[in-house]
Amino acid sequence: GESVGLHLPTLSVQEGDNSIINCAYSNSASDYFIWYKQESGKGPQFIIDIRSNMDKRQGQRVTVLLNKTVKHLSLQIAATQPGDSAVYFCAENAGGTSYGKLTFGQGTILTVHP
């Protein structure tokens, strides 16, 4: 799994480009995954989720891909806009009686340049 460090991974893109943010998860029993967007000084906002019986799910301008073989999750943002600049977190949940009990990755800082 991801270790917690003082320096988050960063991704810088130009406005209009596509962005891909990656996340490795640790628990092979996790059956539910979520991507959150967090702007400075605010709480995380739900972006998109995916269950372990799927490998791809699309939303508005976003796509989440899940590769259970290598325990990897990615978030693709199409036509990235300056308003997409934020920290993006993946989270995993083992489900069952632990519903809602999420384990978060360390996050990735996305900066979109106009």
Check binding of 46 to other proteins (CB under 8 A).
yes
Sole binder of other proteins in the list 44, 66, 77, 86 (CB under 8 A):
44
Largest separation between any pair of C-alpha atoms in the chain: 45
Check binding of 108 to other proteins (CB under 8 A).
no
Determine the interface stretch with other proteins among 11-19, 59-67, 78-86, 91-99 (rule: CB under 8 A): 91-99
Sole binder of other proteins in the list 86, 105, 110, 112 (CB under 8 A):
105
* Pick from 18, 9, 15, 12: nearest CA to 89: 9
Judged by beta carbon, residue 29 or residue 79, the one nearer other proteins is 29
Give 83's DSSP letter: G
| Total residue length of the chain | 114
Check binding of 114 to other proteins (CB under 8 A).
no
Strand duo 72-77 + 62-67: pairing: antiparallel
